[in-house]
Structure 1
Amino acid sequence: MFVSVPDEKLDLVKSLLDDLSRMGGVEIIYDEKVKNFIVDPKNQNPYQALKVVSVIRAIGLGVSVSDALKLMGEEVMMDVIDLKEISNSRDNMTRVKGRIIGEGGKTKKIIQEYTGVSVVISGHYITLLGNYEQIPIAKKALELLVKGREHSTVYRYLDRAEQQLIRYRSSYKGKPIL
């Protein structure tokens, strides 16, 4: 498996290669010519190799090392929104990022607090890290902002989604989930 990162993140990822190799039980080789990291599961579990690729990709997208390493566990997953898929206009992307961040970071903070999902905005990417139940909620909130919905509408959506998730979790309390 191959993964690349921006030049400014190369040294950081290279400094983690030994730890990532050990944690994932994989071999990681950096190909200087094409500036790619090659992750080889060494005939072990390829799922672990995918996790290592996710960690490297997350770091390349601006996620902190400590948050990216959470992807090695079973509880945290990553989703990425590419704003270039939404708009080619640089001005529109800047406007959308501003709506997502909100005045003084308020909107981004509210989304993170409601969902427990880490939201990282870097370049034209929005990276989400969180559990599998909360990522879709945070992503939907971000999509509503991208579509131009009022912030108050997004906050009401988050409130409803949180209440639904609480009801869902309480309905399965003590019951085996198959």
Structure 2
Amino acid sequence: MAIEMRIKIPKNRVGVLIGKRGATRRYLERVTGAKITVDSGSGEVTITFEKPPEDPLMPHKLQSVIQAIGRGFSPERAMKLLNDEYVLEIVDLRDYVGPSKNALQRIRGRLIGEGGRARTYIESRTGTDISIYGHTAAIIGRYYDIIPAKEAIVSLASGSRHSTAYRRMERKIAEMREREVLEQMMIMREARSRRRMKESGEEGEEWEES
């Protein structure tokens, strides 16, 4: 059964998605097994899988890649989303400053910072990629890294000083690291428990045979 999805991106990002002589679109089609059709006039992108892909998450991953390109990321950065560990988070800045173009321009300036310093600092501290484009701030990264990056972006969009936003981000980084460590410990405990149960079952079978 074919899978078909539609997504709309800004018309001025269509050329980036297609790539020089169609190279980016062809590459995405080759690595995902999908057919990508782009309407340059409307910015509508149709994704078609003629048969279910081996990776059941591939349709969602490809959709995220195209969304990321539409929100200002380069194809190279957007393609990180084909990796299971990476996710895309999009923050609509209008939720914090309204639809005013002047307000959005001011917030974009705060998020990027002089010479790009604010964005670069958040990226370096969280290990994420950030794109400030139009009315959105988009983040690509691992789940535990995106949360502190979003904390900083939302704080700045809400009017906090940069120093305050960075402190909140650092607290969230520490919190996420602790949660990640605890999660890894739980996974290791479960793996050891399953291994013991398996070994115990095998020993029981040997005892019955003897």
**TM-score bucket of the superposed structures, by smaller chain:** 0.7 to 0.9
Q: Residues 12, 172 of structure 1: CA spacing in aligned structure 2 closer, same or farther, 3 A cutoff? A: closer
2:46 to 38, 44, 50: 38
The answer to whether the aligner puts 1:75 opposite 2:85 as a matched pair is: yes
Structure 2 distance, partners of 1:48, 1:171, is: 29
- Alignment of 1:27 onto 2:38: no
Identity %: 29
Match of 2:67 among 32, 39, 57: 57
Q: Distance in 1 between matches of 2:187 and 2:162?
A: 38
Match of 2:179 among 128, 148, 168: 168
CA contact (8 A) 2:111 2:119 kept: yes
Equivalent residue, structure 1, for 2:124: 113
SS of aligned partner of 1:49 = helix
Matched, 1:154 2:158: no
Q: Residue 80 of structure 1: CA displacement?
A: 1.0
Does 1:12 find its partner at 2:22? no
Gaps of 5+ in 2: 191-210
Matched position secondary structure for 1:74: coil
State the SS of the aligned residue for 2:153. Answer: helix
Moved more, 24-33 or 60-69: 24-33
Which amino acid in structure 2 is aligned with residue 135 of structure 1?
I
Q: Deviations over 1:91-143 (max 9, x none)?
A: 21122112212233222122111111111111222111111111121112111
**Residue deviations 1:18-53, cap 9 Å, x none?**
211121122222346754221112231452122112
TM-score, L = length of structure 2: 0.75
Does the 8 A contact of 1:26 with 1:48 survive in 2? no
Tell me the secondary structure at the aligned position of residue 67 of structure 1: helix
Q: What is the SS of the residue equivalent to 2:167?
A: helix
Number of aligned residues: 178
Q: 1:17: Cα distance to partner?
A: 2.0
TM (normalized to structure 1)? 0.87
Verify: 1:97 aligned to 2:105, yes or no: no
Evaluate the alpha carbon distance shift between residue 145 and residue 25 of structure 1 in structure 2; reply closer, same or farther with a 3 A threshold. same
| Alpha-carbon distance in structure 2 between the residues aligned to 1:168 and 1:52 | 29
Structure 1, unmatched stretches of 5+, are none
Q: Distance in 2 between matches of 1:21 and 1:167?
A: 39
CA–CA distance in 2 between the matches of 1:31 and 1:103? 36
Report the aligned-residue RMSD: 2.1
Alignment-derived partner of residue 7 in structure 2: 3
Contact 2:128 2:140 in 1 (8 A): yes
